[in-house]
Amino acid sequence: MKRVFSGVKPTGHLTLGNYLGAMRRWVAVDQHQADALFSVVDLHALTVEHDPARVRRLSRQAATLLLAVGLDPERCTVFVQSHVDEHARLSYLLECVATDGEMRRMIQYKEKAVRERARGGSVRLSLLTYPVLMAADILAYGTEEVPVGEDQAQHVELARDVAVRFNQRYGHTFVVPRATSPGMAARVMNLQEPTSKMGKSDDVGPGIVYLLDEPDVVRKKVMRAVTDSGRDVVYDRAGRPGVANLLEILAACTGGNPEALSGVYESYGALKKDTAEAVVEVLRPVQQRHKELCADPGYVEGVLRDGADRARAMARPTVDAAYRAIGLLPAPSDTRAGAGAVVNAAR
């Protein structure tokens, strides 16, 4: 069975973009067809100004939402990144393989560094090295496929480059992963700024639909979406980004096709109304299940404990093998080293 890994970072409340671009596919496809791991990648939330209590709250909420959208712990592994030391252990080794130039070329680094400076803050070193930690998340598990939205493609490409380079220099250690992206809704845009991604850490709240928004809040946000001064409903991503975004959201929620749907509507108002209702219907069961899970925090904790145990056992042999391959002496008391070699050789 192929190995799949993906994650969400608890820097804000999860959005419709996270759901349509990534999570929905994890539930519908990946957990059934692969040996899949899904992680709340909390270490990544420390790369920008953060409030410790908020990160803890959002991590718990993200884990609960992963289960609420339908990930089944009997079918896949759900865990919190910081509970498995292997991510940070491997990240350092990969920093010794990736280059400074590669990090500085990352689009998200450039955008976020500008934003942090504009807020008067300093740019954390971890924001620069973030893609290496992400590569470690992926490579530690022998991951073949990484189901992500379009915005993460460059980071997965870096993980590929680093894996290939490590294997060439130090001997075959890592599986070379590839990104998979949904045909539809790979990039859901902000409803108020339809040329920017709907990102959970952004400031433009009214343009972001959160998974836990009440139905009336969703309706209000969608009805107020920025379109343009035209009247006819045409699917044109470059020329009419606001309308195209609504058509794509509607298509993703109803299983339709944005081009075909554009022919059905004669006004923006009707398109917005149907899009709002479609989103409300998609979110309804998620919110219901979230409420049930919140009433049973012991269950969520148990899932995360088992998930971390499983993830650790999967990652350790590969990370141990990387430590040896790169030239580090096994610790004399470390019985893991031998075990790792055997498991890794068998892969």
Q: Which residues here bind ligand TYM, judged by CB under 6 A?
A: 5-9, 17-18, 21-22, 41, 44, 134, 137-138, 146, 148-149, 151-152, 155, 185-188, 197-199
Residue 36 vs 138, nearer CB to ligand TYM: 138
Per-residue CA distances from 138 to 7, 38, 103, 189, 325 (Å): 10, 11, 17, 26, 18
Minimum Å distance from CB 85 to ligand TYM?
16
Residue 90 vs 337, nearer CB to ligand TYM: 90
Residue 177 vs 337, nearer CB to ligand TYM: 177
Identity at 108, one-letter amino acid code: Q
Minimum Å distance from CB 273 to ligand TYM?
22
Q: Which of 2, 9, 110, 200 is catalytic?
A: 200
- The Cα–Cα gap between 185 and 199 comes to 13
Looking at the chain, the number of H-run helices and the number of E-run strands are: 15, 5
171: CB partners within 8 A, 6+ apart: 325
Identity at 287, one-letter amino acid code: Q
Residue 148 vs 222, nearer CB to ligand TYM: 148
220 in catalytic set: no
Per-residue CA distances from 77 to 66, 67, 73, 183 (Å): 11, 11, 6, 25
112 in catalytic set: yes
- The Cα–Cα gap between 230 and 248 comes to 18
Residue pair 202/11 in contact (Cβ under 8 Å)? The answer is no
Q: Which of 9, 112, 221, 272 is catalytic?
A: 112
Minimum Å distance from CB 46 to ligand TYM?
12
110 in catalytic set: no
Minimum Å distance from CB 87 to ligand TYM?
9
Residue pair 339/319 in contact (Cβ under 8 Å)? The answer is no
Residue nearest ligand TYM by beta-carbon distance: 21
> What is the 3-state secondary structure of 79-122?
EEHHHCCHHHHHHHHHHCCCCHHHHHCCHHHHHHHHHHHHCCCC
Minimum Å distance from CB 15 to ligand TYM?
6
Residue 149 vs 258, nearer CB to ligand TYM: 149
Catalytic residues: 112, 197, 200
